[in-house]
Amino acid sequence: MISSKRASALAVAPAIMLVLSGCALIEPADTSEPPTAMEVCAQGHTWSLDTADLSEKLLASLPSEDVPAKAVEPSGGQTLTWDKNGAVTIESDLVFTITAEPKKDQTMIITQSYTGTVKGKALINVDVAIPQNWDVSDYTVETSATIADEPVEELAYTIPRSDFDDVVGLILTCEADVMTINPRGTDLIQIWAKAS
């Protein structure tokens, strides 16, 4: 009698193992949320910065920094690639050339350059992107000036930066082929056009 019970138990065990192993092969259900309208609009694309608009905004902001600027000319550009998983790459080869007149009949040329690559991540929560883990090891922002082609050793003015980092959230708007980025707590609003 005991031996027959053991034989029955041994016969049932492989069947139980087969059922359990079959359960282990079932994939868990996908409970992830579908992308929001903002994510669909902003992510999965490459964007090109509107440098003409940004140069006008820079020119308008310079008087508050006591910079006697007469003109700002952009050259080069900046692209932002934002994939569907939130990874961000910003490629910069952008220069703003500022013409200022610190004294009568004196012209100062100030250049502010943005060069290199920034990589990081920015996840979207409603209409705010939360940048994280910005890698700026291959990115530089430099400001220099000349008067009559002679370098100015110490620039008396502070030129506001026109980029953003991972310190504050980024308020977004996005519609069709145009996206705006406004770092929280700042007056800076960048306009980006969809490149691809």
Is 24 within a domain?
no
What is the average pLDDT value for the chain, to the nearest integer? 87
Please state the separation of Cα 125 from the chain's center in Å.
Answer: 14
Nearest to 138 by CA among 156, 114, 174: 114
User: Considering the entire predicted model, what is its pTM?
Assistant: 0.81
What would the pLDDT profile of 15-34 be if each residue is shown by its tens digit? 444 444 444 444 444 447 89
Is 4 within a domain?
no
Q: How far apart, in whole angstroms, are the C-alpha atoms of residue 119 and residue 140?
A: 13
Total tally of structural domains belonging to the chain: 1
CATH number at residue 125: 2.40.128
Range of the domain at 123: 37-194
What tens-digit pLDDT sequence spans the chain (196 residues)? Answer: 444 444 444 444 444 444 444 444 444 444 478 999 999 999 999 999 999 999 999 999 999 999 999 999 999 999 999 999 999 999 999 999 999 999 988 999 999 999 999 999 999 999 999 999 999 999 999 999 999 999 999 999 999 999 999 999 999 999 999 999 999 999 999 999 999 9
